[in-house]
Each structure stands twice: as structure tokens, then as C-alpha cells.
Amino acid sequence: MKSSSGSPHIRVRRSKVHGTGVFAARAIKKGTRLIEYVGDRISHAEADRRYAHKPIDDNHTFLFTVDARTVIDGGVGGSPARFINHSCDPNCETVIENKRVFVEAIRAIGAGDEIGYDYMIERDASDPPNMADIFSCRCGAKECRGTMLLPPKPKRRKKKSAASKKSAAVVARKAARDAPKKAVKKAAKKPVRKVAKKAARKAAGKRAS
């Protein structure tokens, strides 16, 4: 099978998922670097300017976010990587090295299989209510999300008030005084672990659209 993409690993043709897609020209081993996502490197402001008049219900995009400053517009001087479709059960992933973006296989891919990676498009408070429909997904994966958008972030638990924390501490101290010596040591360590987990959570980046 001769590649029509400039890469020995892939070829470009029509896709059942969406428009034009990218397919394996031969069997591909896990970890293989397939192609670089290239194009015009521009700022986020320039990307917004270029596509300011794009209809809000148009999900077709060749923009790929590199970092807070740079976006690659694959529609200008881009490689066949711009035709790789989204998949909720991807066989590839994108890797950013020194501000360059590469597509790599995360599992073995059979000859003729379509190449796909998760676009991981983030949700925003300013999105219209039908944004998930605009970026609908037809990848056909068993666990398909139905959209190229990432799942909504879980709501953060409300922090306990200072009063409730104080009450809990009083109860813990009382339990420690009334318990046997071994149990006292165990009770004393438990609240420390909870505090440590909470501190770690508090202390604890694709494609742009």
C-alpha cells in the first residue's frame, strides 16, 4: 500500500467518521512516531482574528494549541496530520516536545485502521448550551462520549467551616482520651492523613477550537 501523505506509516483518504481521515498504510507498532503536526505558528490573538467570522456551529478546525502563547494553524502550510480525526478510544496521542507537536501510536495499529487521537477540547463557561452538539462525535467507539468536548469537571466539595473543623477536633481529642493506648496512636494519625490529602489536592496542559 503506497502512502499518499509523505509519511511511510500513513495515507490520507475519505473517512466514515468525518470528511477526510488518516489511515495506517502498514502495521504500526506501539510507540511509533507517525507524523508532526505543522503549520503557521501564530498567537492566540491572531488565531481569534483569523476565524472571528467563523459560524459558531462550525466545528471544522485546523488549530492546535501548543502553549499559552502559540497556536499552530494547520490550514496554512500544514501536514496530513491536520486530517486526523478525533476518537474517544484513540490509538494515538499528541506529544509536545520543544514546542513541536508529534502524533505517536499508543498501541499497535493494524494496516488500514483509521488513526485517531482525543482532541480534548475543554469546556468554557461562555460556551453556548448546544456546544456539545456542535462538537458531536461519530467515532463509533464503544465508550464514545458523543462529543469531542471533555467531560464536565466535577464540582468541588464545599470546604468545611472553621466551626465544624473545631467540633471535629474536639470529638477526636475526646475519643483519643477514652480509647486504649494503641487506639490512641491510630486515632491521632488519621486526622493527619486527611489534612495531608487535602493539602495535596489544593497544591495540585490539543487542539484548540
Residues 107-165 pLDDT 10s: 999 999 999 999 988 888 888 888 888 888 989 999 999 998 988 877 776 665 555 55
Is residue 151 in a domain? Answer: no
Q: How far apart are CA 155 and CA 88, in angstroms?
A: 23
Predicted confidence at residue 36, as pLDDT, reads 96
Same domain, 112 and 173: no
Same domain, 55 and 120: yes
From 115, 134, 153, give the residue that closes a domain: 134
Is residue 129 in a domain? Answer: yes
Q: For residue 196, give its domain range.
A: 162-203
Same domain, 36 and 117: yes
The pTM score is: 0.68
Domain total of the chain: 2
Same domain, 50 and 128: yes
Distance from the Cα of residue 118 to its chain's centroid: 6
Predicted confidence at residue 166, as pLDDT, reads 53
Same domain, 128 and 173: no
From 134, 149, 171, give the residue that closes a domain: 134
Predicted confidence at residue 173, as pLDDT, reads 55
Residues of the chain with pLDDT under 70: 1-6, 56-57, 59, 157-209
SS3 141: coil
Is residue 139 in a domain? Answer: no
b/e code 150-179 from CB counts within 10 Å (16+ = b): eeeeeeeeeeeeeeeeeeeeeeeeeeeeee
Same domain, 171 and 113: no
Predicted confidence at residue 168, as pLDDT, reads 53
Same domain, 19 and 122: yes
Q: What's the CATH number where 90 sits?
A: 2.170.270.10
Is residue 42 in a domain? Answer: yes
Predicted confidence at residue 78, as pLDDT, reads 93
Contact in structure between 43 and 69 (CB atoms under 8 Å): yes
